[in-house]
Amino acid sequence: MNWTLVGAVLLSTAGLLVLGVLALRLWLDARALAREVDGAVTALQRAGGAD
């Protein structure tokens, strides 16, 4: 078996797993940021007297 090919496949798989984890973290951060922005908008609307 060609060990260079096996190594390349393993490294590619590990790279894709890392990219998947980073994408998941980015999605979670974006979701948390959206919640914070929504809370800030709600607070500003209450402070401005708008319902």
Q: What is the pLDDT of residues 11-37, one digit of tens each?
A: 999 999 999 999 999 999 999 999 999
- Who has greater pLDDT, 14 or 51? 14
Q: Which pTM does this prediction carry?
A: 0.71
H/E/C letters for each residue in 18-48?
A: HHHHHHHHHHHHHHHHHHHHHHHHHHHHHHH
Domain ranges (residues) in the chain:
21-51
